[in-house]
Amino acid sequence: MRALYAAAALTAACSSGRAVTPPPAVAPSPYAPAASQPAAPPTPPAKPRADPVRYGPSAVRYLVHRQLHIQQALGDQNQMQDLGVRIFVALAITGPADAVGYPTTVTVDSMVADSGTPPRVADNLVKVRKLVFAGRVVAKGEFVNAVPSDSALAQSVVQLLGNFRDFLPRLPAGGVKPGAAWTDTVETTQKGSDAEGSRRTIMHASATPWGDQAGVPTLRVESSQSYSVSGSGKNAGQPYELAGSGSANGTALLTADGRYMGGESRDSTTLTIRLPAQGVSVPVVQLTRTTIAVLP
């Protein structure tokens, strides 16, 4: 099971009134119906601007609900585990941008484990309070050069938290307009004190026409991706190697001024973890569902 957590850590990589005095009595006049006043037309939602949607300065709070289902086979035994967590996140993008991107902080206010999450995992989650990641958001939406305020705490919950690199939907460098479609290839590496891994992703995405979310014009971005992963390291002093592949699909909503309004994604990963010291290979399947909603 320990190797399982190491693998997941590598792949995981917000009226008043007044009284009226009646007039003096007067002779009644012939009845005449009062002219009716036409009802005021409803205020139409603001029209989205014609410029491409790009990320820029904003401050939004989110509730991220992440659920993992993990299966692994060791010898003749199959083991399954379900993990879940609600993460309260504040994303602040400030300007102006520098040569890398916009200065950005992601603050994890707290993490609350779902019912049924193993106690040793849940105990780590309750320790997370005001964990801050400081970095840059580049034009395409990646959160890069992230540095946590407490690296040890961040590492202890990396399986469920990640490092927010792909928290924002990936966009073309020049922004996105309704009806646009694009393909992107991303190669990333992740290094820790006792592990390192790499991931190569090919993503296809498209943007639908403008829609409406609670009176706010929003652009819906739909994406699908396939990827391969590899890595190695030590867990509890024992070396391991891993390799595998996966696929994911998701949807995301963006406003005309570049605010991320939440979305949903599903991810399926198949890994093989090799333990040289024991001379065994462990197949692992990990299913992840993430939903992100904006908080008031």
pLDDT tens digits, one per residue of 258-290: 999 999 999 999 999 999 988 899 999 999 999
Instruction: For residue 41, tell me if it sits in a domain.
Output: no
pLDDT digits (tens, 9 = 90+) for 14-25: 333 333 333 343
The beta strands (E) that lie in the chain are given as 58-74, 77-93, 102-113, 129-137, 143-148, 181-191, 195-207, 211-213, 216-235, 238-255, 260-275, 280-295
Contact 155, 118 (CB under 8 A): no
Number of domains, the chain = 1
What is the arithmetic mean of pLDDT over 176-182? Answer: 96
Within-domain flag for 42: no
Better pLDDT: 156 or 109: 109
DSSP output for 12-61: ---------PPPPP-------PPPPPPPPPPPPPPPPPSSPB---SEEEE
Token pair 């040289």: residue: 276
Average pLDDT for the chain: 85
> Is the pLDDT score of 10 beyond 70?
no
Q: Is residue 189 part of a domain?
A: yes
Give the model's pLDDT for residue 33: 44
Q: Is 19 a domain residue?
A: no
Residue 117 lies in a domain: yes
Percent of residues, the chain, with pLDDT higher than 70: 83
For residue 4, give the 3-state DSSP assignment.
helix
Residue type, 238: Q
Distance, CA of 80 to CA of 64 (rounded, Å) = 23
* pLDDT band at 26; cut points 50, 70, 90: very low
Q: What is the pLDDT of residue 52?
A: 95
Res. 6: pLDDT tops 50: no
Q: If you average pLDDT over residues 144-169, what whole number do you get? A: 90
Segments forming the whole domain that contains residue 263: 2-10+54-295
In this structure, what is the dihedral angle of CA atoms 71, 162, 115, 262, given to the nearest 10 degrees?
Answer: -110
More confident residue, 178 or 236: 178
How confident is the model at residue 49, as a pLDDT?
Answer: 59
Residue 28, in any domain of the structure: no
Residue 36 lies in a domain: no
Can you tell me whether residue 89 is helix, strand or coil?
Answer: strand
Rounded to whole angstroms, the Cα distance separating 153 from 176 reads 36
Is 289 inside a domain boundary? yes
Which pLDDT score, from 0 to 100, does residue 142 have?
Answer: 95
pTM: 0.80
